[in-house]
């Protein structure tokens, strides 16, 4: 029983996050009740308020009281129906709803995992440059480097692995001329990815290994390659819908 309680405590600690002034968060479930507290600028619209947390918007904690956290939007909402009920206003929600029904939105606290393809690899060996377009699929952990979305972009560092194939010929391996064949490769990679409104452009480097290298003597085995990748919403960004414009 003690072990069960200890594991429960550890899991609850790992899946909780702080409630400090300045922390950023966003909704991860619908219909989270909130209560209007006050306005803090004469520009605020006093005719309407929101009773529920509006999704797809980042909020910032402005204060904490017993059992509640107070918050406002991180940036003014522009050209959206929610601007009227959110801008220049402080709301509060229960600490339990904050812990269980929201998620952190601080830049460096967010990890992502996704898939990507590298359509072109540049390889070099003994001064020879080779461009390769063989099929591959890769999986990578992405760590956001900038603190927050700034002008709708974010930068991530990625580390991952993948699988693919490459063509062995008499010019890049020890096989005989006319007996070209395709073999499987295992890839390790790292790189930087720039995300702008869900469109990603990345620059990567990595190494490929084949099985039975002693048999084929592939000259690029274990050598560094360079690659560029382009994708749409591979590692996520701000979700579609109503968003705060930063």
Q: Are residues 154 and 43 in the same domain?
A: no
171 in a structural domain = yes
CA–CA separation, 233 and 35 (whole Å): 34
Question: For residue 86, is it left (φ>0), alpha (ψ between -120 and 50) or beta?
Answer: alpha
Q: Are residues 187 and 206 in the same domain?
A: yes
Q: Are residues 44 and 151 in the same domain?
A: no
At 139 the three-state DSSP class reads strand
191 in a structural domain = yes
244 in a structural domain = no
Instruction: Using the 3D structure, point to which of 71, 105, 139 is the last residue of a domain.
Output: 105
What one-character DSSP code corresponds to residue 84? H
At 16 the three-state DSSP class reads coil
What does pTM read for this prediction? Answer: 0.55
The count of domains in the chain is: 2
Q: Are residues 56 and 138 in the same domain?
A: no
Query: Residue 7's pLDDT is what?
Result: 39
Query: Residue 231's pLDDT is what?
Result: 65
pLDDT digits (tens, 9 = 90+) for 112-141: 778 888 889 999 888 788 888 888 899 998
242 in a structural domain = no
Query: Residue 32's pLDDT is what?
Result: 95
Q: Are residues 130 and 101 in the same domain?
A: no
Cα 96 from chain centre: 26
CA–CA separation, 60 and 86 (whole Å): 12
Say if residues 220 and 172 touch (Cβ distance below 8 Å): yes
Instruction: Using the 3D structure, point to which of 105, 125, 144 is the last residue of a domain.
Output: 105
Q: Which residues of the chain have pLDDT under 70?
A: 1-18, 106-111, 147-153, 197-198, 231-246
Q: Quickly count: other Cβ atoms within 10 Å of residue 168's Cβ.
A: 20
Domain that residue 142 falls in:
108-232
Query: Residue 198's pLDDT is what?
Result: 65
């Amino acid at each position: 029983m003690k072990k069960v309680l200890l594991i429960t405590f550890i899991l609850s600690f790992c899946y909780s996050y702080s409630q400090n002034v300045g922390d950023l968060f966003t909704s991860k479930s619908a219909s989270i009740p909130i209560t209007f507290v006050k306005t803090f600028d004469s520009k605020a619209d006093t005719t309407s308020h929101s009773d529920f947390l509006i999704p797809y918007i980042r909020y910032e904690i402005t204060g904490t009281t017993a059992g509640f956290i107070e918050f406002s939007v991180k940036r003014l909402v522009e050209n959206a129906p929610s601007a009227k009920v959110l801008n220049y206003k402080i709301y509060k929600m229960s600490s339990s709803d904050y812990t269980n029904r929201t998620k952190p939105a601080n830049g460096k606290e967010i990890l992502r995992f996704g898939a990507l393809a590298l359509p072109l690899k540049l390889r070099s060996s003994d001064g020879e440059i080779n461009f390769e377009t063989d099929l591959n699929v890769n999986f990578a952990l992405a760590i956001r480097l900038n603190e927050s979305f700034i002008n709708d972009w974010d930068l991530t560092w990625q580390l991952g692995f993948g699988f693919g194939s490459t063509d062995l010929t008499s010019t890049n391996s020890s096989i005989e001329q006319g007996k070209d064949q395709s073999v499987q490769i295992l890839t390790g990679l790292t790189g930087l990815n720039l995300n702008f409104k869900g469109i990603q452009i990345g620059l990567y480097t990595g190494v490929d290994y084949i099985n039975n290298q002693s048999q084929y003597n592939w000259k690029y085995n274990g050598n560094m390659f360079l690659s560029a990748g382009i994708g749409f919403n591979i590692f996520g960004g701000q979700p579609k819908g109503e968003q705060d414009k930063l």
